[in-house]
Amino acid sequence: MFLLTTPILLSGCAEDLSAVHPAGPAAEVIARLWWVMLAGATAIFLFVTGLLALAMRRRPGGGSDRLWLQGLGLAFPLTVLAALLAYGLTVGEALLPHDHPERVTVRAEARQWAWRFGYEDRPGLQTEDILHIPAGRPVDVQITSADVIHSFWVPRLAGKMDAIPGHVNLLRIEARVPGDYAGVSAEFSGPGYRTHAFTVRAHDAADWQAFLEAPSP
């Protein structure tokens, strides 16, 4: 039943806010981790369920309880969980914002109920609720808040990061191709948070340069 219902539930996910439809390298790493964790959990579930079924059918005196409990019931799940932990640590290292020669830095400031974005490549330029970035280049987003705790999340580009008043968190995102990517504030921050959304607009090289050189609105 679990294996049958999972694809059905996933099919109901809206692609524009789906973490399993990645559009950038960080999101691809996160999506791959999700599938690996799902596979590991499924393997443990099926194996332990199989052991339970065999144990219920087994005749008294038909084998060692220590073999069933320690050798199979504990050893297999612990081995799988240890492998998943090691993989998770590797993924965490891969998601860190390492130095990159083509890195772009932007600033995201949340407030009730809007986002204001600034650009290191053009000081003084600000946009509301639309974050402009170049496609195919890593973008470091400096995230903060002007009032309460919010959360910056663009599911198809990266994981989420809290926006905390008086503190700056750094999140690296990247869009492989130009286009619009939906973002949300994934943290309850008051009665208006359900509509606290924004858009990340990725430009090709020419459009990005034109955006930086355009007259201020």
CATH of the domain at 154: 2.60.40.420
At residue 23 the predicted structure's pLDDT band, cuts being 50, 70 and 90, is confident
Q: What would the pLDDT profile of 107-121 be if each residue is shown by its tens digit?
A: 999 999 999 999 999
Q: Is residue 73 predicted with pLDDT exceeding 90?
A: no
Compute CA distances 172 → 46, 87, 113, whole Å.
37, 20, 23
Instruction: Reduce the DSSP state of residue 9 to 3 states and report it.
Output: helix
Residue 99 lies in a domain: no
More confident residue, 65 or 50: 50
> What is the distance between the alpha carbons of residues 108 and 206, in angstroms, rounded to a whole number?
23
Look up the pTM and report it. Answer: 0.73
Contact in structure between 175 and 106 (CB atoms under 8 Å): no
Q: Helices (H) and strands (E) in the chain — how many of each?
A: 5, 10
Residue 72 is predicted with a pLDDT of 67
Res 205: pLDDT: 94
Same domain, 131 and 201: yes
Please report the pLDDT score of residue 151 as a whole number.
94
Q: Based on the domain organization, do 126 and 75 belong to the same domain?
A: no
Print the domain residue range for 125: 104-213
Please give the pLDDT value at position 133. Answer: 97
Same domain, 90 and 135: no
My answer on whether 90 and 108 are in the same domain is: no
214/65 Cα distance (integer angstroms)? 75
Q: Count the domains in the chain.
A: 2
Give the ranges where 58-173 is alpha helix by DSSP (H). 65-66, 75-94
User: How many whole angstroms separate alpha carbon 104 and alpha carbon 121?
Assistant: 8
Same domain, 108 and 204: yes
Considering the domain architecture, whether residues 77 and 18 belong to the same structural domain is answered as yes
**Torsions phi, psi for 168 (to 5 deg):** -115, 120
Tokens of 45: 């579930």
